[in-house]
Amino acid sequence: MIEVTVQDVRVDPASNSPVVLLREKGGTRVLPIWIGHAEANAIVMEIRGVKAQRPLTHDLFKQVLAGLGGTLRRVVILSVKDNTYFAELSIHRDDTVFQVDARPSDSIALALRFHAPIFAADSLLDEAAVDTGEPQPDPSVDPETLKQYLEKLDPQDFGRFTP
């Protein structure tokens, strides 16, 4: 398993679908995953620290899980088959660990809310990631550099996938 971080959420101009870009931590590969608009909104809101007036689905799930004494320890993006990605939540409660099948988009939105790490299977990155050839810029050092880097990414680089 390789830890990944949410690099960005963009809109694929060819399909008008949101794409979340996961970058391997300390590496040069980016894993694009096409997601729904609601999930993209939930991810972007959490990244930007925007709170809805009422709890959204992912916020509600976090409150319920925490209320039951559980925590989300990690998310693993496991595989892709026929352009459908599969993920798993690792939920801990007391001495019990629950592995829950989930969509990657929901898993990412929850991981951000729980501050839980996100991992991708090595084989998935080997199969589906795009190597940018550039290490991940550190946004804490120079936000303008990160912005320029993201603007250079071409959605056509991810053209072998269809949403």
Write down the domain spans for the chain.
2-158
Per-residue pLDDT band for 161 (boundaries 50, 70, 90) equals very low
Nearest alpha-carbon partner for 61 in 104, 19, 16, 106: 106
* Mean pLDDT on 18-34: 93
Residue 163 has pLDDT above 80, yes or no: no
Q: What CATH number does the domain located at 2-158 have? A: 3.10.690.10
Q: Which residues contact 8 (CB under 8 A, 6 or more apart)?
A: 20, 21, 150, 153
| Tens-place pLDDT, residues 28-71 | 899 999 999 999 999 999 999 998 889 899 999 999 999 999 99
131 φ, ψ (degrees, to nearest 5): -85, 115
Neighbouring-strand partners of residue 84: 81
Question: Whole-angstrom Cα distance, residue 140 to residue 132?
Answer: 20
Q: Is 22 left (phi over 0), alpha (psi -120 to 50) or beta?
A: beta
> Is 0.85 surpassed by the pTM of this model?
no
